[in-house]
Amino acid sequence: SSQNLSEEFAEAARQLKKEAPRIQFGKIDVTHQHDLRQEFNIQSFPTVKFFVNGSREDPIDCKGVRKASTFITWVKRRTGPSTVLINSTDQAEAIVKADDLAVIGFFRELHDDSVEVFCETARDVPEMPFGMTASEDVCANYSIQRNSLVVFKKGKPVHHEVLEDGRQNKLDLTRLIKTFTLDLVTEYNIETSVKIFDIPVENHILLFTPMNSEKFNEIYENYQSAAAEFRGKILFVLVDTDEARNGRIFEYFRIRDIDVPAVRILNLTSDARYKMPADEVTVENLKEFCQSYLNGKAKQHLSSEKIPQDWDKMPVKVLVGKNFNSIIF
């Protein structure tokens, strides 16, 4: 909530006052400041922006940051180095074991495009520690080829991404790394919904199914297998249709009990919805659906009620999605 965020923001300000007195924190109630709201194009609340060198032009958006400790890391990485330079295996081990998640870049040399992309990505992912190394010993210890990024979870490498010639897009890397703060498949509930929308992945796939059905385990395994292939591109969400609190999502997607298990893709930016053409939730069907969506070939799913039998009887005609175009246009 805004109240919680406001408290965490204030806590970050208190702590940074000692460590970095040059960084000033302020808050504005834009309900009374219409011109400021317009100038900085504030669309949603709360919005946090970081102004650099006294300039009002192009402040940096601070998105998805909710805890005081993450605010502090975010600000420090904007005003100083964003990654720790690792010179020894002991140092690397300390970083990967200190937190649940850690990211390390293994490089041939520390002055090329891919290092720059790595450091920029670190600025946007304050939730986890970032280290980088060009040490032969450290690379040999983890048997990792140079110019790659590795995500460690609980001290073990769980993802390996090759960084060549700076071709990697910073936003793509940010999306990919942030997905590790969620499970491969995230069950939708009150707690996870906030996290799901904080990850900057605009494509969400949702599996609607009762979790207590006898086929659930098989369907879930298939869903997880497909999820591994599209990590960072499509966020995989599970919606339990037995949970009454999820009723609003069924309404939004027009899902009825007889339709489940059902699979939909939602694009958060355009609010477009897509329905998986196949009924069976198999790995092949899921992969084909995701791939056709990413290639721009999936057909949009426009929910519509059945055309009522007596739609044409009265002077005022009854229109639904299916007959709207043909009658009006």
Confidence class for position 74, pLDDT limits 50, 70, 90: very high
Confidence class for position 320, pLDDT limits 50, 70, 90: low
d(CA 70, CA 196): 17
Q: Are residues 255 and 191 in the same domain?
A: yes
Question: At residue 22, does pLDDT exceed 70?
Answer: yes
Q: Region 7-34: what's the mean pLDDT?
A: 89
Helix (H) or strand (E) holding 51: none
Domain with residue 5: its CATH number is 3.40.30.10
Has residue 323 been placed in a domain?
A: no
Q: How many helices and strands in the chain, by DSSP H and E?
A: 12, 12
Question: At residue 122, does pLDDT exceed 90?
Answer: yes
Q: How far is CA 105 from the centre of its chain?
A: 21
Task: Give me the domain span that covers residue 48.
Answer: 1-79
45-49, 127-131, 264-268, 300-304: range with lowest mean pLDDT: 300-304
Q: Give 201: exposed, middle or buried? Use CB within 10 Å, 0-12, 13-18, 19+.
A: buried
| Domains contained in the chain, number | 3
Q: Are residues 136 and 102 in the same domain?
A: yes
Q: Are residues 205 and 275 in the same domain?
A: yes
Q: Are residues 156 and 232 in the same domain?
A: no
Which of these three, 132, 159, 178, is where a domain ends? Answer: 178
Q: Are residues 20 and 73 in the same domain?
A: yes
pLDDT given for residue 325 in this prediction: 62
Q: Are strands 101-106 and 60-61 parallel, antiparallel or unpaired?
A: unpaired
Confidence class for position 216, pLDDT limits 50, 70, 90: very high
Has residue 107 been placed in a domain?
A: yes
pLDDT given for residue 140 in this prediction: 93
pLDDT given for residue 324 in this prediction: 65
Q: Are residues 152 and 199 in the same domain?
A: no
Q: Are residues 31 and 47 in the same domain?
A: yes
Has residue 311 been placed in a domain?
A: no
The string of DSSP codes covering 127-173 is TS-EEEE--HHHHHHTT--SSEEEEEETTEEEEEEE--TT-S-HHHH
Confidence class for position 299, pLDDT limits 50, 70, 90: confident
Tokens (6 digits) for 268: 């958060």
Confidence class for position 169, pLDDT limits 50, 70, 90: confident
Q: Are residues 91 and 63 in the same domain?
A: no
206-223 in b/e burial notation, b at 16+ Cβ within 10 A? bbbbeeeeeeeeebbebb
Has residue 314 been placed in a domain?
A: no
Q: Region 227-244: what's the mean pLDDT?
A: 95
pLDDT given for residue 326 in this prediction: 64
